[in-house]
Amino acid sequence: MKELSDEIIMQKVSTGNLDLLKVLFERHHRYVYNYLYKMSGDAMLSEDLTQDVFYKLIKYRSSYKNGAFVSWLFSIARNNLKSYYTRNHRLHVDIESISHKTVDDGMEKNEELSQLQLALGKLNESDRELIVLNRYQEIKYEQLATIVGSTPGAVKTRVSRAMKKLKELYFENN
């Protein structure tokens, strides 16, 4: 079972084998949670949104269309976060509050990690999203392009520029 790809499993889920969703949950829920947590800086919210992502997976399983599963999954996560912000009239994450939160949360972690979080918090939202998805989730350019609605070439350039910015931010505090 473990060897089956996400796509094949999701295929089986969409035709009625609901139990296989547990496998997908085990494989991905922490990544989804981390993406949302890195983007929002709010652990409770991220948990709720992650939960909702998997509810949607259950509910809309039949709308899965053979594409890369990870792209589909993170598109749902991304939309969840966006609609949460739209609902709460916060179109942009307040960078100040993010960096505060990450610093507060980072108290228990080591110095270097909070440096990275601090630097990430200073990036604009779309740069941060690209970095988070590419670095933490190890999502390839092709899938990343599907998630953010762009082309692989453009995404590649954007990621590398965002990484450059991050590098500068990271080292200027060191």
Partner 1 sequence: MTACKESISELLHDYLDGVLPSHKNDMVEAHLDSCEACRQELEALKTLFGAFQSEAMDVPSTRLRSSFEEALEQEKAGQGVVHIQAKKKSWTSDFLKIAAGIALLVTAFQSGRILQLEKSNQDVAALLEENLQNKQMAMLSLMENQSASKRIQGVSYIEDFPNPDEAIVRALANRLLTDDNDNVRLNAFEALAKFSSSPEVKTVFIEALGQEKNPSIQIGIIQALVKIQEKKAVIPMQKLLEKEDTQPFVKNEIEMALPKII
Residue of 9, 39, 42, 46 that binds partner 1 (CB under 8 A): 46
Contacts with partner 1, 121-150, as mask; x by CB under 8 A? --------------xx---x----------
CB 6 within 8 A of CB 69: yes
Residue 107, class by beta-carbon neighbours within 10 Å (0-12 exposed, 13-18 middle, 19+ buried)? exposed
Q: How far is the CB of 117 from partner 1 (least distance, A)?
A: 8
Q: Distances in Å between the alpha carbon of 93 and those of 15, 103, 119, 128?
A: 38, 16, 15, 11
Residue (86 or 160) nearer to partner 1, CB:
160
User: Considering the rule CB under 8 A, would residue 157 count as an interface residue with partner 1?
Assistant: yes
Residue from 1, 2, 3, 59 in contact with partner 1 (CB under 8 A): 59
Binding flag, residue 11, partner 1 (CB under 8 A): no
| Beta carbon of residue 26, minimum distance to partner 1 (angstroms, whole number) | 9
Residue 64, CA atoms < 13 Å, CB-side half-sphere:
27
With tokens 């060897």, the residue in question is 3
